[in-house]
Structure 1
Amino acid sequence: MKHLSMRATFFLLALTMFTTPAYSAEQSRPVPSPPAAQSPVVHPDRKITFTLRAPEARNVAVAGGDGLGIGPFSMTKDPDGLWSVTTPPAVPGFHYYWFVLDGVQVNDPASETFFGYGKPTGGVEVPDPGGDFYAIKDVPHGEVREKTYFSKTTGAWRRALVYTPPDYDRNIKTRYPVLFLQHGAGENETGWTRQGRAQFILDNLIAAGKAKPMIVVMDRGYATPDTPDFRQQNMQVAFSAFEKVIVDDLIPTIDVSYRTIADREHRALAGLSMGGMQTFFIASHHLDKFGYLASLSGPMVRNASLEKLSEITIQGPFDTKVAYGGMFADPAAFNQRVRLLWIGAGGAEPEMFLTSIGGAVSALKAAGVQLVYYESDGTAHEWQTWRRGLNDLAPRLFR
């Protein structure tokens, strides 16, 4: 849900602009994307200066994801045709952004792009003092590989990204558990490694002995010809198609291609936002295949209905007897079968997410379903929430 245009509307932290102080070159730094770029510049107080050379433009603004604040932010032009603006302090972490040039959304030619909002989109990284867990460190590193495979479900070639842990190629007789990790709406299989830095989170946890070495598989979460904007889809149809890809195509491909431990006790399914919804939808039909389940900011469907997002009622009570095909109807049986149920969210998520997720967590606990609830302090429906969530989740897997 994070990656749709409604995301900025839900953002609740309205930051107020005020006079921008002068910054020294030592204090501020261009975002290294690409290395030679001089914009955007992140300042020590987390304000960001964006610039764009467009001499013929009449009006330019910068807009973006939740953590940048309530935009767009109007830019001013100097005599040489350079437009610029310094935004209010941004939330630490990764944020999408783009320019609105004479009413047209355009990417920053000085920035790399990341797949978000259903298209390549600019991105900026705001340092987090507590972000050491996803930093690149001098520890053994795994690899992110591409696996191209043919899907009988879709009749087309697909690509999955696969993280293999350090020493995978050295310990050739060792087999590993597998985490299938899904992105959110509007993103694709690159999200968790490019925006989420999942490979470095795993590297650091494994090096510290906090997480078991594991294979992580990330696939594109769409299997119908419709647009990735799933507000326009029947979610039952869309999720069912992707379910077949996961169960009939992807799992067999990964088990044949990599040294997996190919049983449910060593297989986890997780996802963020839309991916969290897909996790519970798929698991409700296939608990014989997954022993660990996790949803990061995934809205919880409270009853048996799963159609368009706009038709899902999230204000009423979560019905543990019928939700997700009755997966939680017998708490004792569920607890015995599922080794970990993990649900997470950001503490500053929009109300629709917190209401849905919080209500489900309370109902599940009251019914006797064993689960772990994690909340990221001060973050919204954004990558910093999900980086922190994965850092909490991964050490709990395959124990």
Structure 2
Amino acid sequence: MTRKLLTLLCLTLSLSQPTLKAQEVPAEPESIISPNIHENHSVTFTFFAPQADTVKLVSDLLPPEKIMTRFGIQDGPGSVLLQKDQNGLWTYTSDPLESELYSFWYLVDGIRVPDPNSPYVFRNGSTVTNVFTIGGGQADLYEDKNIAHGTVSRVWYDSPTVGIDRRLSVYLPAGYEDSREEYPVLYLLHGAGGDEESWLAHGRAAQIMDNLIASGKSKPMIVVMPNGNVSQDGGYGYGSYGFQKPVFLPPHSMNGEFEASFIDIVNFVEDRFRIKSGKENRAIAGLSMGGFHTMHISRYYPNTFDYVGLFSAAILPREDATGKVYSDIDKNLKVQKDNGLKLYWIGIGKKDFLYEANTAYRKKLDDLNFPYEYRESGEGHIWKNWRIYLSEFAPKLF
């Protein structure tokens, strides 16, 4: 091995190693812990970058900051500068944190990079974020416990309306394979930038359902998580698109095609799995774009779902969306109301950029004497809220 190659190898190893002590750079990669969660639930982040001028931690554990997004100025994750020592180790220790699942990444001289010492990352659209949990409270629902676990599978279904086979994820409750019992179904829809994997990754849907069912807080149910990007057969990396760079809104998004084709999913699920029949055994819910889809699917098929959940939902279609699904909205809502529902549930954060749209939609429902339950939480358009909404919505079903 040449001296040049040896030097490069040593540099590569050292670049992936923050340290437990600010004054030492450990020789063994496995000795590095970042993030390091302490007994009092404070967390130390460490990043090794001797040539960097600045290293920032960006995370939802920090007070939110105003950021510019495609939807205008919103609250985003906060940021803080790490402190650098003489060895090029940058560190930051948080205050004690409440129980939650947190996400974070670094800005190294303005370039976004994940933590090289943490393999726990989720993808949303074309970006990845590191994650960790603080237990002892709400986040206990998001962790795998020593309980009976359901089964998660990915299956393909024929969608005659779209004209292709498409991929979806399915959660079967513990005991499904060993019984002849029939189960109700929750159809759970992702937001823009997501796919059929999003609720399982960011949303921790399987862990939430396992823990709710095992504790007796929720009835056993099948949870179906389809891909709401109607132009795709499967999410990026899983379908025929392969490893293309994901885009936030693929072609044909929110144009009515997904809503119109949704009955293909219902028909497939009820033919493939042991399902209790009737709308009293069907629920549908979704976040953001998935909330938009939920609102319009449940209205377009007004006698199909007895339980509807809008989580930080987009409401009105785009001006250029002319699909049949979006005609006669008020008329369809009245039919849906007259058919009767057991639960129409709306959740939104006070700082969500869709808060005003949801307020206006509630006014529309009030004018129609359409009954609903309303849950207003803190913060904005974030997974923290959507996981909480699922954990509160699921126990109300069936």
Task: Please state which band the TM-score falls in when normalised by the shorter chain.
Answer: 0.7 to 0.9
Which residue in the other structure is 2:151 paired with? 143
Partners in 1 of 2:286 and 2:271 — Cα distance? Answer: 23
Q: Is the 8 A contact 1:68 1:87 kept in 2?
A: no
> Within 5 Å, which residues of 2 pair with 1:93-112?
93-111=100-118, 112=120
Q: Is the 8 A contact 2:59 2:105 kept in 1?
A: yes
Q: Is the 8 A contact 1:66 1:381 kept in 2?
A: no
Larger C-alpha radius of gyration, 1 or 2? 2
Partners in 1 of 2:315 and 2:201 — Cα distance? Answer: 27
Which residue in the other structure is 2:333 paired with? 328
CA 1:227–1:84 in 2, change beyond 3 Å: closer, same or farther? same
Q: Does 1:229 align with 2:248?
A: yes
**Per-residue deviation, residues 305-352 of structure 1 (Å, max 9, x unmatched):** 53489xxxxxxxxxxxx883533346xx61533232111123x433x3
Match of 2:318 among 306, 309, 317: 306
> Within 5 Å, which residues of 2 pair with 1:68-87?
69-70=64-65, 71-87=78-94
Q: Does 1:121 align with 2:140?
A: no
Q: Is the 8 A contact 1:144 1:163 kept in 2?
A: yes
Q: Does 1:390 align with 2:385?
A: no
User: Which region of structure 1 is more displaced relative to structure 2, 126-135 or 69-78?
Assistant: 126-135
> Within 5 Å, which residues of 2 pair with 1:1-399?
38-43=33-38, 47-65=42-60, 69-70=64-65, 71-87=78-94, 92-111=99-118, 112-127=120-135, 129-152=137-160, 158-171=166-179, 173-224=180-231, 228-230=247-249, 236-237=254-255, 240-248=256-264, 250-301=265-316, 305-307=317-319, 324=329, 326-329=331-334, 334-346=337-349, 348-350=350-352, 352-376=353-377, 378-398=378-398
Shift of 1:90: 5.7
CA 1:265–1:211 in 2, change beyond 3 Å: closer, same or farther? same
Shift of 1:368: 1.6
What letter is aligned with 1:394? A
Aligned residues: 342
Shift of 1:245: 4.6
What letter is aligned with 1:57? A
Shift of 1:380: 3.5
Partners in 2 of 1:108 and 1:202 — Cα distance? Answer: 29
Structure 1 vs Structure 2 CA RMSD? 3.4
Partner SS for 1:242:
helix
Shift of 1:288: 3.4
Partners in 2 of 1:367 and 1:37 — Cα distance? Answer: 59
CA 1:43–1:381 in 2, change beyond 3 Å: closer, same or farther? farther
Shift of 1:270: 0.5
Partners in 2 of 1:289 and 1:209 — Cα distance? Answer: 27
Partner SS for 2:303:
coil
With structure 2 as the length reference, what TM-score do the two structures score? 0.73
What letter is aligned with 1:258? F
Shift of 1:292: 1.8
Partners in 2 of 1:153 and 1:95 — Cα distance? Answer: 39
Shift of 1:359: 3.7
Partners in 1 of 2:164 and 2:88 — Cα distance? Answer: 47
What letter is aligned with 1:364? L
With structure 1 as the length reference, what TM-score do the two structures score? 0.73
User: Which region of structure 1 is more displaced relative to structure 2, 290-299 or 136-145?
Assistant: 136-145
Partners in 2 of 1:67 and 1:193 — Cα distance? Answer: 25
Partners in 1 of 2:390 and 2:102 — Cα distance? Answer: 18
Unaligned runs of 5+ in 2: 1-19, 22-29, 66-77, 233-244, 322-326
Partners in 2 of 1:367 and 1:116 — Cα distance? Answer: 37
Partners in 2 of 1:279 and 1:372 — Cα distance? Answer: 16
CA 1:39–1:66 in 2, change beyond 3 Å: closer, same or farther? closer
Partners in 1 of 2:61 and 2:163 — Cα distance? Answer: 37
**Per-residue deviation, residues 41-81 of structure 1 (Å, max 9, x unmatched):** 34566554322223333432222448663333223333333
Which residue in the other structure is 1:315 paired with? none
Partner SS for 1:72:
strand
CA 1:80–1:150 in 2, change beyond 3 Å: closer, same or farther? farther
**Per-residue deviation, residues 240-264 of structure 1 (Å, max 9, x unmatched):** 232245322x223322321123443
Partner SS for 1:85:
strand
What letter is aligned with 2:248? D
Q: Is the 8 A contact 1:180 1:216 kept in 2?
A: yes
Segments of 4+ in structure 1 off by > 6 A? none
**Per-residue deviation, residues 73-126 of structure 1 (Å, max 9, x unmatched):** 223333333222335666642233222223322222222211225433222324
Partners in 2 of 1:275 and 1:66 — Cα distance? Answer: 25
**Per-residue deviation, residues 281-322 of structure 1 (Å, max 9, x unmatched):** 222211233232111111333xxx53489xxxxxxxxxxxx8
CA 1:36–1:268 in 2, change beyond 3 Å: closer, same or farther? farther
Shift of 1:167: 0.9
Percent identity over the alignment? 33
Q: Is the 8 A contact 1:143 1:166 kept in 2?
A: yes
Which residue in the other structure is 1:9 paired with? none
Partners in 1 of 2:168 and 2:48 — Cα distance? Answer: 38
User: Which region of structure 1 is more displaced relative to structure 2, 140-149 or 362-371?
Assistant: 362-371
Higher relative contact order (CA 8 A, sep 6+): 1
CA 1:366–1:244 in 2, change beyond 3 Å: closer, same or farther? closer
What letter is aligned with 2:309? A
Partners in 2 of 1:327 and 1:271 — Cα distance? Answer: 19
